Amino acid sequence: MNVARETFDRELRRLQDDMLELGRMTANAMLEAIAALRARDLENAERIMAGDATINERRFALEADCLLLIATQQPMASDLRIVAAVLDITSNLERMADHAKGIAKITIMLGTERLIKPLVDIPVMAQKAVQMLQDALDSFVRRDADTARQIVDRDDEIDAYYDQIYRELLSYMLADPRTINQATLLLWIAHNIERYADRVTNICERVVFTVTGEMKELDLRGPSEPTPA
């Protein structure tokens, strides 16, 4: 019995480690996408888009391992919550990487066109969203539901940045219709970051679920302005 438990615990740790590696890749994808945007590095943007396929493959492999563990080990309720959380977090991480890929794609669309405004708020917004992700994954490792709830509150700051960027870009569009196309692309970038942070709140919900067994939505608020379709 002890040997079986040790085997299960070892496999569970491996799943968690694989999930954390996927989280690291997702965080790097966002940071690199913003770096490519700031440097107008179209070649690096192309690499980020191509690298998304590796993240997708890791997601599917990790999900398959989770399902195999459930099928072969028949985990108890508390263990099953951990595996279910890893499954859900993995899915969110892959979608977050898609948002980084979206930013890289927009960077290519912008090309070398001169920006209508300096990139100030967008990089700060992205850095804060990535820090939220890193802290959320750490709270999962430590099974710290209180910290996870506090991280969700930080999403309000991301939403405030989005609202500020929205209003500023809208003022550019109203003042000069020639800026509409680029302003819209920059707004899409901010929207991708805002959605990235929203998915961190999903991860935090899974942390709380893992620890308490309670599944509930932790953040019902969002940006005050409508987001792009």
Report whether 186 contacts 228 (CB < 8 A).
Answer: no
Q: Which residues fall within 8 angstroms of residue 13, CB to CB, at 6 or more apart?
A: none
Residue ranges of domains in the chain? 2-212
Token pair for residue 146? 């209180």
96 DSSP assignment: H
Q: What is the pLDDT of residues 24-59, one digit of tens each?
A: 999 999 999 999 999 999 999 999 999 999 999 999
Give domain 2-212's CATH number out of 1.20.58.220, 3.40.228.10, 3.40.50.720, 1.10.340.30.
1.20.58.220
How many whole angstroms separate alpha carbon 72 and alpha carbon 76? 12
Enclosing H/E stretch for 183: helix 180-212
**Tens digits of per-residue pLDDT, 84-99?**
999 999 999 999 999 9
The per-residue pLDDT of the chain, averaged, comes to: 92
| Token pair for 165 | 């960027």
